[in-house]
Structure formats: C-alpha cells, structure tokens
Structure 1
Amino acid sequence: MSWNNQGGGPWRSPGQGPWGQGPTGPQPPSDLEEWLRRLQQGLRGLTPTGGGGGGGGAARLILVVALIALVAWFALGSFYTVQPNEVGINLVFGRYTGKTANGLNTNWPWPIGEVIKVPVWDQQLTEVGYRSDAGGADILAESQMLTGDQNIVNVRFRVSWQIDPTDPEDFVFNILNPRETVKAVAESIMREVVGLKTIDGVLTSDRKSIEPDVQQRMQTVLNGYHAGVLVKQVQLQSVDAPAQVISAYRDVTAAQQDQQRAVNDAETYANSVVPEAEGRASRILAEANAYKQQTILDATGQTSRYSQIYAQYKNAPGVTRERMYLETMERVLGEMSKTILDAPSASAPVPYLALDPTTQKPAGAPK
C-alpha cells in the first residue's frame, strides 16, 4: 500500500512533498535560465520586433547558437602549424591556392579549405633488388639485369631522394603514386645503363660511372613527368654474377686485380729507375761538356803558344832553333842518368861502373 500523509495518494497537491506542505510562492530562476533570459534581452535589438511569443525567443536562441558555432568553427579551423621540415599546400574547394612555409599559417577551415603538409626536407630511400627491412633479402625479379654482351648480373642498389621544396604541389597532384613511380623509373634507368655495359665493366671498372649516369638520367625523366622529386644519390649496394658462375667471375676479378697490381708495381719501378737513369745521363753529358771545354781551351792555348814561338822564330831562326833544341833535350833527358863526353877521342869510350852515391836507386827498387 502506497504511503499517504493525509489521504489522496502519494502527493497531496502540486508543490507538496512527501513530508507535507512544500514551499509556497514564486521560486527564484536557476542560473541557466537567468543567463538565457539576459542573452535574449541583449539580442532583442537584432530582431525586427521588440517582443514576441515563445516561438520568437526560440528562433533567436537558435540564431545565437548558430553564430557562436560559426565563430568557433572559423576561429578553431583557420589556423594550422607547419613543421620546419614541411611545406603546407593550401586548397579551397579542392583547388590549389598556394603553399606556405613553416610556422603558424591560416586557411579556410574544413570543409571549405584543406591543408596538405608535405615533408619536403625528409630524405626518402627507395631500394631496388633487395629489402633491408627483410634482412637484405634479394628480389631477383628486380635485381637480374642483362648486360650489353648478353650476360646476366644481379644489381642491388638504392636511391636517395626528396620532394622538391620549390614545387611540392607537383609531387602532390601530378603523380598518383610518387614513391612507386620513383622506384619504377630507377629500375628502368638502371636496366638501360647496364644494357650499355659489358659484364666485365659492370663488375669492375664501370661501377663508379654507373651511379652518376643513373642519377642524371632519373632526374631528367622525373623532370619530364613534373613529379616534384629531386634525386640526391644513387648507390650500388652489390653487383654480382649469377650464383651458378659467381666463383668463375670472382677468379676473373682476382686475376684482373693481380694484373692491375703488377702494372702498378711496374709503374712504380719505372718511376724510380727513370729519374736515376736521367740523372746519370745528365752527369755524363756534363762531364763530356766539361772535357770538351777543357780540350778546346788546351788546344787554343797550344795554338797561341805556337803562334808566339813562330813569331820569335821568324825574328831569329838560329837562336830559336837552338833554344827549342835545348828545351826539348832538357825535358827528355832531365829525369834519366847521363854520361857526358867532353870531346871526341880517337878510341872508343870505355864503360865504367858508376860509384856515385847520388845515383843510387831508391830502396825497394829492383836491382
């Protein structure tokens, strides 16, 4: 049975509680009602009529809420931040209107406007022929290529690239899948360049020229696509012959390296011997020139001496002949033992043993 204070049901009358008579008289409005009432009074001047029934107040309330929502939507959706490594692409109704640099920027809020943030300064890597995230596993469908002399090689390489910061809109709008496009262009260009080389060149001497050649050709093709991509570097990770013949090609490579080492040793030896031989040749030439000059000077001096003697001989031939004879005898007989006869005699000279101590031979001379 329901509780009844004085009969008549659980509530005696409107405004009464279960414990008897409730509060009587007008009740004070709540805070929300007071705020709405003041807001309506403040906005009455916005409507054509100053008063109205409950329908007019509801319309004004809807208008106020709509205005507040509009202001909040515009204020909160118009500002956005671009990071230092990004460029903002502004769209209005899906149409490109410009790009913005890093920092705080504004655009129409969604759904009128849209901002696409492009990481233009991030370095992107595209791997062809292998995947580093799979432990470096080979992908033969990408790595196997045909050389110009009809041989197969496995080429694994990677391309470092970035979005062009001057034309990021090309990267966003012109190519449907830019990363796959870069990969396809890299593989195609590498096949083209390898097809112009021989297998020996690809495995040895031509590897350094392949990388810049592929980079330049890739950039040309991507510029033709207006892809908004800058190719920074092409790096060959490995270039090998097929597994069935790789041991034979390694032997060939080792032999070529031995040949190159022998050539380098020969050039080193030549560089050390040739200067030495040139030095000896220069010394011989210098000595020959010195001997030549000495001989010329001696001949010149003898000629001058002969000319002087001849001039004296013409003045006094007899005296000059006598003097020349005496000087010659002095020069010829000066260092030898002599016996001088004063005058000729009727009998032949008698030999004698010279006992003069001044004519003794030096010690150690043969007897």
Structure 2
Amino acid sequence: MAWNEPGGNNQDPWGGGNKGDKQGPPDLDDAFRKFQEKLNSMFGGGRKGGSGGGAQPGSSSGMFIGILILAVVAYVWNAVYTVDEKEQAVILRFGEYAETVGPGLHIYFPPIDTKYQERVTELRTYNLHQQMLTEDENIVEVAMSVQYNIEDIKDYVLNVAKPLVSLEEATQSALRHVVGGSEMYQVLTEGREVMGIEVRDRLQAYLDSYGTGLNVAKVNIESAQPPKEVQAAFDDVIRAREDEERAKNKAQVYANKIVPEARGQAQRTIENANGYRDEVVARAEGEADRFVKLMGEYKQAPEVTRERLYIETIEEVFSKSSKVLVDVEGGNNMMYLPLDKLTQSHGSSSMPSRQLSAQELNEITTRVTEELNKRVNSSRASGGRVSR
C-alpha cells in the first residue's frame, strides 16, 4: 500500500511527515543551501538579510577559498616523499636532469619536476633457460641466473629507455658467446664455474658500453645438460669418462708406490757400486803399494824374497784345497795327500769328530809344507815338480 493512499497513514518516506496538502519529494535547493551555509560557517562566510534571502556573494568566495586550500594541501601531500635507505631518486626538471637525492624526506614540484625512485642496493635476479650450440657443434640446455643491482641510478634512468630489456638481451648474447667458444664436455662438467665467471665479465662489459647503470654481482650456471633426446647416450659417455678417470687414479696410486721403491733400489745399487769401486781402488792401491815395497826388498835379497813368496803362495793355495798331488819328474809314482781325511783322522784320534780351528789347520798345512819342502829339496837334483 502506498504511503499516500487511503489507509497509508500519510507517512512521507522523505521525512516530511503529515503536512496536509503540501506533500512531495524534498527540496534540493533547500538542501544545497543548507550545505552552503555550513561551508560558509566553516570558512568565515555568513548570511546577510532575513531568513528568506538567497545566498550572498561572500558564501561563493568562501567556497572557492576552501576548495583552493584543499587543492594546495593535496598538492603538497603528493609532492612530499620519503627515500628509504636502500633507495635513491632522480629528479628531472622540465625533462632535464636536476639532481640525485639520497635517503630522507624530500619534496619536488610536479608537473615541473619528475621523480624516478628505485631500490639501488637490492639484488635482483634474472633467470634464463635456453638451448645453446657449443664449439664442437653439440646442443646443450643451459639454465642460469643473473644477480644484479642498480649501481648508477642516473644512467639507469636517462641513458637507456628499457634497461631491463637490455640486460636480458646482453645476457643471452654473453652466454651464447661463451658457450659457443667451449666444447660440450667442458660445459657439462668442470668448465661450468669458469664459464660463469666469463659470462659475468662479458655481460658487465656489455652493460657498461650501453651505459645502463647496472652492476652484475654474480652469474650462476645452475644446470647444463644435453637435450632429452640424446640424454642416455651422453650418460654413457660420462660414465666412460668417469671409469677412465678412476683407472688413471688407480694407476697413479700404483705409480706412487712403485716409483719410490724403484728409486730406492736404484740408489742402493748405485751405493753398492760406489762401495765396490772404492774397495777395488783401495785394494789396487794397497797391492800397488805392497808391490813397490816388495820390489825394494827383492832388490836387497832376491833369493830370500823369492823363497818367501813361494812359501806364502803355497800356503795360500793349500789353505783353500783339501787335496794335494805331488808329482816327481821322471818318476811313475804320484803322491796323494788327502788333507780332508787327515783332518778327520786327526780329530777322531783324540776326541769325537769336530770342526778344526784355523790354528789347527795352519799347523797341519805347515807340516805338509815342510814335508813337501823336504821332498822338493831332495828331488831338485832331478827336477822334481809339485802340482795341485
């Protein structure tokens, strides 16, 4: 049931209440006038005249001043800004570089000034995953990450329109150049660390030549592997190289064990040879010295010296022989002296069999020698001969 129909209790939804015949929507002019009066009361404006008068010129000026103040406050609010410790800002005045500001509270004046604020100490990361062609014409998939920061914010803002796009393209160029100059085995194994350093140096050179203001902190070669289609074959190659390396290490261990022993034996042989040489030289020198002295004695007494040498020689020979044969020239009999048997019988006559001492052996040799001398002297007239 509508509010103005019979039985609707004449309740005005706009809050007019029961006003008799003057029923209808609220007066918008009256509501606007009330709002204007509130603004005038806030900013010093007032109404002049009776309650039935319209808005005065003072009320319009007060509204304009209020709006102007609000605009100034909003402008100042937007113009004041804070630069964090990790940030820097570049101010352009009429499109031309004005200054670079550091941490703190600052103000600029748009649209005269333009502000570019960036984090300069924060390390950012750019990831790249692409297929590359190596020097030996093999394809590898390389995944790498570049950590960088803004080193010169002025160059970063003014020199290059899109410095991050330049970074991406320079990274691809540097990586292709380094991988294209390396063999696949180096890229897949121990050459990855060296390759990361080379890519970083080349990438930094590119960015410096472009004037991007970026600094490359580190380049990480996260993975390098052949394409999936030939992964199994390359795994076999890697295992074969690992077996080769293991065999080399085993051979090196064996060499480290054998070589010192061989060197020790060689040194021992050299020392023995040096000792033998010194012994032979010393014996030869002694024999030469003995011969010189003996020569002097022989000149003084030839017969005695000759006899003495003969006896010493016979003693030396007999001391090394267990059997002696004496042959007399012109005779049919040969005398046989078994010294080993004589020594055995000499030992068994007094006590059980034992080994003769050197002194006892010399005594027996002396007796045999005397006996031989006697026989030799008796047979000299007939030219007797003694043989061993």
Q: Report TM bin, short chain.
A: 0.5 to 0.7
Identify the range of structure 1 (231-240 vs 330-339) with the bigger mean alpha-carbon deviation: 330-339
Structure 1 segment 57-72 matched on structure 2, within 5 A: none
Q: Distance between the aligned counterparts of 2:198 and 2:322, measured in 1?
A: 96
1:162-213 per-position Cα deviation (integer Å, ceiling 9, x unaligned): 111xx22111222222223212221232223323334344333543332222
Residues 1:122 and 2:122 are matched in the alignment? yes
- 2:84 is matched with 83
Q: CA deviation at 1:327?
A: 3.4
Distance 2:222 2:176 in 1: 15
Partner of 1:363: 353
Alignment-derived partner of residue 143 in structure 2: 156
Q: Partner amino acid for 2:134?
A: T
Q: 1:78 to 1:308 in 2, by over 3 A?
A: farther
Q: Tell me the SS of whatever aligns to 1:233.
A: strand
Q: 5 Å matches for 1:30-179?
A: 80-102=81-103, 104=104, 106-129=106-129, 143-164=130-151, 167-179=152-164
Equivalent pair of 1:94/1:114 in contact (CA under 8 Å): yes
- The equivalent residue for 1:195 is 180
| Counterpart among 296, 300, 303 of residue 315 in structure 1 | 300
1:214 corresponds to 2:215: no
Instruction: Label 1:79 to 1:295 Cα distance change in 2 as closer, same or farther (>3 A).
Output: farther
Q: Match for 1:252: what amino acid?
A: V
Name the counterpart of 1:21. none
Preserved CA contact (<8 Å) 1:77 1:109:
no
Gap runs ≥5 in structure 1: 1-31, 37-53, 130-142, 340-347
Deviation of the 1:278 alpha carbon: 1.4
Q: Distance in 1 between matches of 2:242 and 2:211?
A: 44
Q: Which amino acid aligns with 1:119?
A: R
In 1, are the aligned partners of 2:160 and 2:212 still within 8 Å (CA)?
A: yes
Q: Residue 357 and residue 266 in structure 1: after superposition, are their counterparts in 2 closer, same or farther (change >3 A)?
A: closer
Aligned mate of 2:169, from 184, 191, 195: 184
Percent of pairs with identical residues: 33
Aligned to 1:295: 280
Contact 1:107 1:114 in 2 (8 A): no
Aligned CA distance change for structure 1 residues 227 and 336 (closer, same or farther; 3 Å): closer
Are the structure 2 counterparts of residues 72 and 208 from structure 1 closer, same or farther at C-alpha, using a change threshold of 3 Å?
Answer: closer
Structure 1 122/329 Cα, relative in aligned 2: closer, same or farther at 3 Å? same
- SS of the residue corresponding to residue 244 of structure 1 reads helix
Aligned residues of 2:146 and 2:216 also touching (Cα < 8 A): yes
Query: Structure 2: how far apart are the matches of 1:355 and 1:227?
Result: 116
Q: 1:105 to 1:309 in 2, by over 3 A?
A: farther
Q: CA deviation at 1:285?
A: 0.8
The letter of the residue matching 1:82 is: V
TM-score by length of 2: 0.61
Amino acid at match of 2:102: A
**Partners of 1:71 and 1:296 in 2: CA distance:** 117
The structure carrying a bigger helix percent of its residues is 2
Q: Determine the C-alpha separation between the residues in 1 that align with 2:150 and 2:126.
A: 13
Write the distance in 2 (CA, Å) between the matches of 1:358 and 1:259. Answer: 75
Residues 260-284 of structure 1: per-residue CA shift (max 9 Å, x gap): 2222222232222222211221121
Corresponding residue SS for 1:281: helix
Q: Which amino acid aligns with 1:154?
A: E
TM-score with structure 1 length normalisation? 0.65
Secondary structure at the aligned position of 1:232 is classed as: strand
User: Structure 1 residues 150, 69: closer, same or farther in 2, change over 3 A?
Assistant: closer
| Partner Cα separation in structure 2 for residue 288 and residue 106 of structure 1 | 93
Tell me, yes or no, if the aligned pair for 2:139 and 2:227 is still in contact at 8 Å: yes
Please identify, of 305-314 and 150-159, the stretch whose mean Cα deviation from structure 2 is larger.
150-159
**Which residues of structure 2 form unaligned runs of 5+?**
1-39, 45-55, 325-332, 356-388
Q: Is the 8 A contact 1:161 1:233 kept in 2?
A: yes
SS at match of 1:360: helix
Separation in 1 of the partners of 2:336 and 2:234? 100
Larger Rg: 2
**How far off is 1:312 after superposition?**
1.5
Distance change in 2, residues 1:292/1:152 (3 Å): same
Which one-letter code corresponds to 2:251 in the other structure? A
Whether the 8 Å contact between 2:89 and 2:102 is mirrored in structure 1 is yes
AA of the residue aligned to 2:120: V
Equivalent pairs, count: 291
